[in-house]
Structure 1
Amino acid sequence: MLDTTQPLRDPLLWNPDIAPLPRQKRDWTWVTLAAVWMGMVHNVVAYEAAAGLMAVGFSALQCLLIVWTAYCSLFAAMWLNARAGTEWGIPFCVLIRAAFGPRGAVIPVAIRAVVAIFWFSVQSYAASEALNAILASLWPAWNSLHLPGGGASLGLWLSMALIWGLHALVAAHGMHRIRNFELVAGPLVLVVAGAASLWAIRICHGTGPLFSIPSTVHGADLALKGGAAITSIIGIWASFAVNIPDLSRFVRSQRDQAIGQLIGLPVTAIIFTPMSILITSATIVTFGKPMWNPVEILTQIHSTPLTLVGGITIIIAALSVNVAGNIVPAAYDLLSLFPRRLDFDRAGIAVILLGLLAAPWMWFDHPQTVFALLGILSAVLAPITGIMLADYYLVRRQTLDLSQLYTFSGLYAGRHGWRPSALAATALTLLLILPPTLLPAGTFPGQDAINAVSWFLGIITGGSLYTALNRSPKATTPGHDARETNGLSLVNPARTRNR
């Protein structure tokens, strides 16, 4: 337990749930982290990603290569950013203070919270529609349930209440329950997907028709569309590259977090993608048309046992990605914004309620608007990712003074709690990568090329500008003289300027 009498610790910046986690409480192994990622990677969005790629004209083999490249890129960024969480036991909302300052950190923390709550809202509503369709297939009278005096579906509202309640049940009682849930959910989804793939191979007497379709994208068009496809898949998880310390702070060693993420990200994704293509091939043979929506497949099979197993798996997959990928980071973000009013459980419930207030049923009928907004938010988070990496590895040299991350004065305070170098690097990078995203296609030459590599460009530019702004002949690199003091791991701070 931290010594709350320390004069450096400001109550506006400290809360027991965002305090450095003692090493004896960091008990996640690589199996735990791999299971968490399995539960997140196996979701409807990732399942349907291959559909979008093949619709563009890529072959099945090219789809696998694109997915592998995207997830390997994500793994590299997340592995590097996760190291600080594992080393120091702090979440993203605290780590970001080193680069942006205690007041400046509010900006990236608030952006990340908005992204997480919005993703939670949209994916929960998708899960609600899935549950509604499944219940209707099991009980035909379900579709006839309507609210009095209107045409609104009572069945859908009841499904939403069940889904939101399940999220609250899993998220209650902190990370211990979440960890236990993910240990079951991740492998379970993979097992069911594997069984469905075996069914598909039997139906198709092989890999199926989709694997025989040749690519229609060639030459320069292949490079441009391939880059855009890689960036699009990265966009699904770009926000998590920022806040991966929220999970890695619970992992017992750097080896565990590296192996866990390697198995959970690129390895699992490259296994899961051909499964989705195989299952869709089977729908062509069985129903005469490709079905990329797993809910649609269940409703067409007309088998109660399969509908129950498949439906429960879809719901578990949605819960798994939402709890670990959205509720946890958003809860930590809200904790850092309101440390004196919230604990982790209350923050989790707040995320769930805010997700409902986001009225996802109004957005869900306009998916292009949803993904355009999320694409913009992911582009905004790219320079933040680059700045975090540059700050920790190039400016701080992997050395932090944790006590000063919880105060408005000292090493990380900058100017009145704001560090201009991070703010300037973010603003300049956004001036480069946001206009191509916001302006209509074809507005200026090279626009498509910038959009295709916007995430990579944002990380490299943001990190490079931040490093350049923090170069100082007086800067020194301290030795890693860490010691445990009242739960805080303290080191001699780097004497870099508070730019």
Structure 2
Amino acid sequence: MKANMSENMLSNKDLLPLQPEERNWKAVNFASIWMGCIHNIPTYATVGGLISIGLSPWQVLGIIAVASLVLYAALALNGHAGAKYGVPFPVLIRSSFGIYGANIPALLRGFVAIMWFGIQAFAGSTAINILLLNLWGGWKDIGGDWNLFGLHLSGLLSFIFFWGIHLLVLHHGMDSIKKFEVWAGPLVYLVFGGMVWWAVDIAGGLGPIYSQPGKFHTFGEWIWPFLAGVTGIIGIWATLILNIPDFTRFAASQKEQIRGQFYGLPGTFVLFAFASITVTSGSQAAFGKPLWDVVDILDHFDNPYIIALSVITLCIAAVSVNVAANIVSPAYDLANFLPKYINFKRGSYITAILALFTFPWKLMENEASVFSFLGTIGGMLGPVAGVMIADYFVIRKCRLNVEELYSVNGRYMYYKGYNYRAFAAVALGAFISLIGAYLPALKPIYDISWFSGVILAFGTYIVLMRIHPPSAVQTQTAEYTAGGSL
């Protein structure tokens, strides 16, 4: 079967189902991915933003705990098919959106990832720039007044250097990513633990930090900000929920991906929130004002050793999240779009090159607009997850015909390669969940846009598949089981 699938224009070596001997990721590999992903500069700022709108430290910890459990459930559910069949996200999504239709949500997901890759890379490069300035004061004067769209030569060189580190990690494909994440995650924890120690010492203990009251006191006052905070946190990782099969396809068993994501996500995220709140409060005690950007905190230190260790850690964290969340997906998505010409490694390099041309330092001149734009696209992708989960668990009952995922003559061809039901469900889910941004009366729905989008798309897709089912769904049988031979 595998030989037959490799002969058509819908596959290449990286898109084909993995054989049992190629599925060797254990729980520790999935846990380490999340340990590395959670610790990044934009997420740190998001946690700080929750405090700044008036939520207490304990309420923020509650938001993170709830959001991480919802994330875990969504990731484990959407990762099930990858672990069972060994195929990546852009191939799995063919079962719901159609053989050709799958390219649309996959490329949209890839576009968001490329934008975030540039933003994360630039954020990491600013930390490197701070280190170089502390080592050599003349670094900022390199190139004189020359600049590229407002970025001086010193900043540009820092950005290019940090960008190049990603290419080294990608040298051996997914295997090198697996090895990198195993040691990157624990190292990040070690250094953030040191920053927490500093913050607790400078603030005079945890009591002054966590006794701070919020401005929302009654249930009616804090429930909507709380739910909006949960939605915002999930929104950051909504895109990774879609392409988690790109990772779970390497799982040694279903149990390994489920256990690994549980070990790496809920506890990790709560610890991260605890560290973020504590370090920020420590910055207020040390510098007279709360600093929600960890790079700004580094800029206030004058010990080059502390700065060097912290910068290295932040860079490792930024590379970790960029590789896992913003390179793997577009690499597979581009390979799925042009499988004859692009494999996973080429897709990775193309992703990195395209990220250069997003000129992230220009984008970050108006952070609110950029994050709002990316958040809107993320809101459009939330309903895609609803369709994927509905199709796999309700319509297919966890049974897929893997060979026909690579065929233009199979059940997933629908009408000319597109399943209108999936697109209609996503359109409705995205429209209703995002319209609140423009209609004040529906603002509460917008505040919980990820939930409303996923639930609406989930229900709509099932209804459309029931009232107008494709003929293939009515006669579908399981022709491939987990662990079976291809």
- Normalised to the residue count of structure 2, the TM-score between the two structures is 0.95
Superposed, 1:338-353 pairs within 5 Å as 338-353=338-353
SS at match of 2:412: coil
Structure 1 CA distance for aligned equivalents of residues 79 and 26 of structure 2: 14
Residues 291 and 444 of structure 1: CA distance in aligned 2, closer, same or farther (over 3 Å): closer
Q: Partner amino acid for 2:58? A: L
Q: Is the 8 A contact 1:10 1:407 kept in 2?
A: no
Structure 2: stretches of 5+ with no match in the other structure? none
Query: Are 1:371 and 2:366 an aligned pair?
Result: no
DSSP 3-state at the match of 2:365:
coil
The reply on whether 1:48 has 2:53 as its aligned counterpart is: no
Give the alignment partner of residue 123 of structure 2, picking from 104, 118, 126: 126
Give the residue type in structure 2 aligned to 1:419: N
**8 Å Cα contact 2:402-2:480 kept in structure 1:** no
Q: Tell whether the 8 Å contact from 2:146 to 2:153 is kept in structure 1 after alignment.
A: no
Quote the Cα distance in structure 2 between the aligned partners of 1:121 and 1:450. 30
Matches within 5 A, 1:343-492: 343-437=343-437, 439=438, 443-445=439-441, 447-471=442-466, 475=474, 478=477, 482=481, 488=486
Cα distance, 1:282–1:431 mapped onto 2, change above 3 Å: closer
Deviations 1:24-43 (A, max 9, x none): 11111000110011100111
Which amino acid counterpart does residue 119 of structure 1 have in structure 2? W
Q: Which residue of 2 aligns with 1:494?
A: none
Aligned AA (2:264): G
Distance across 1 between alignment mates of 2:12 and 2:408? 15
Q: CA deviation at 1:259?
A: 1.2
1:38 is matched with which residue: 28, 35, 38? 35
* Partner Cα separation in structure 1 for residue 106 and residue 303 of structure 2: 46
Q: Counterparts in 2 of 1:274-293, with a 5 A limit?
A: 274-293=274-293
- Counterpart among 59, 64, 67 of residue 67 in structure 1: 64
2:88 alignment counterpart: 91
- Which residue is 2:266 aligned to? 266
> Does the 8 Å CA contact 1:100/1:418 hold for their aligned counterparts?
yes
- Distance (whole Å) between structure 2 residues aligned to residue 401 and residue 117 of structure 1: 31
Q: Structure 1 residues 10 and 382, CA, compared in 2 at 3 Å: closer, same or farther?
A: farther
**Contact 2:6–2:12 under 8 Å retained in 1:** no
Say whether residues 1:205 and 2:204 are aligned partners. Answer: yes
Q: Compute the displacement of 1:345 (Å).
A: 1.4
1:201·1:208 contact (CA, 8 Å) conserved in 2? no
Q: In 2 relative to 1, CA 372–10 (structure 1 residues): closer, same or farther, beyond 3 Å?
A: farther
Residue 164 of structure 2 is aligned to residue 169 of structure 1: no
2:152 equivalent in structure 1:
153
Per mean C-alpha deviation after superposition, the further-off stretch among 271-280 and 81-90 is: 271-280
1:78 partnered with 2:71: no
In structure 2, what is the equivalent of residue 16 of structure 1?
13
Percent identity over the alignment is 39
Alignment partner, residue 491 of structure 1: none
- Specify the SS of the correspondent of 1:251: coil
Q: 1-side partners of 2:440 and 2:208: how far apart? A: 40
State yes or no: 1:215 paired with 2:214.
yes
Cα distance per residue 1:191-236 (max 9 Å; x no partner): 1111221222222231153312101013433112111111111111
C-alpha deviation, 1:50, in angstroms: 2.2
Local SS of the residue matching 2:474 = coil
Give, as a single letter, the amino acid of the residue that structure 1 aligns with 2:21.
Answer: Q
In the other structure, the counterpart of 1:144 is: 141
How far 1:480 sits from its partner (Å)?
A: 7.3
1:213–1:66 distance in 2 versus 1, CA, 3 Å: same
Hey, which of these two has a bigger chunk of helix by percent? 2
Separation in 2 of the partners of 1:393 and 1:147?
A: 60
| CA distances 1:274-331 after superposition (whole Å, capped 9, x unpaired) | 1111112221222222122222222212001101100100110100000111101110
**Does the 8 Å contact 2:6/2:16 carry over to 1?**
no
Does the 8 A contact of 2:401 with 2:478 survive in 1? no
TM-score w.r.t. the length of structure 1 is 0.92
- Structure 2 counterpart of 1:457, one-letter code: S
1:115 is matched with 112
Partners of 2:120 and 2:322 within 8 A in 1: yes
In 2, the alpha carbon distance for the partners of 1:371 and 1:350 equals: 23
Give per-residue Cα distances to partners, 1:158-179, cap 9 Å, x unaligned.
1011011101111122011111
Contact 1:59-1:213 at 8 Å conserved across structures = yes
Query: Contact 1:128–1:159 at 8 Å: present in 2 too?
Result: yes
Q: Distance in 1 between matches of 2:337 and 2:383?
A: 21
Contact 2:131 2:304 (8 Å CA) reproduced = no
Work out the CA distance in 2 between the residues paired with 1:423 and 1:409. Answer: 21
**What displacement does 1:265 show?**
1.2
Instruction: Detail structure 1 runs of 4+ shifted over 6 Å in the superposition.
Output: none
Q: What secondary structure does 1:366 align onto? A: helix
Aligned partners of 2:330 and 2:341: how far apart in 1?
Answer: 15
Q: Could you report, residue by residue, the CA deviation over 1:355-401 in whole angstroms, capped at 9, with x for unpaired residues?
A: 01112122111101111111111111111000000000000000011
**CA RMSD across the alignment:** 1.9
Could you tell me whether the CA contact under 8 Å between 1:208 and 1:278 is conserved in 2?
no
Which residue type is aligned with residue 181 of structure 1?
F
How far 1:61 moved relative to its partner?
0.5
> What CA distance in whole angstroms lies between the structure 2 residues aligned with 1:481 and 1:379?
34
2:247 is matched with 247
Q: Distance in 2 between matches of 1:272 and 1:282?
A: 15
- Post-superposition Cα deviations, 1:241-267, rounded to whole Å, max 9, x if no partner, equal 111001111111111111111121111
- Looking at structure 2, the residues matched to 352 and 325 of structure 1 have their Cα atoms a distance apart, in angstroms, of 13
1:122 to 1:152, Cα distance in 2 relative to 1, 3 A: closer
Distance 1:208 1:292, change over 3 A: farther
Contact kept in structure 1, 2:435 and 2:446, CA below 8 Å: no
- Report the AA paired with residue 180 of structure 2: F
CA distance in 2, matches of 1:257, 1:199: 35
Contact 1:238 1:378 in 2 (8 A): yes
**Structure 1 pair 390/483, CA: closer, same or farther in 2 (3 Å)?**
closer
Alignment match, 2:186: 187
The answer on 1:101 being equivalent to 2:106 is no
Partners of 1:405 and 1:478 in 2: how far apart? Answer: 14
Contact 2:199 2:278 in 1 (8 A): yes
> Is there any run of 5+ residues in structure 1 with no aligned partner, and where?
489-499
Q: Distance in 2 between matches of 1:152 and 1:426?
A: 39
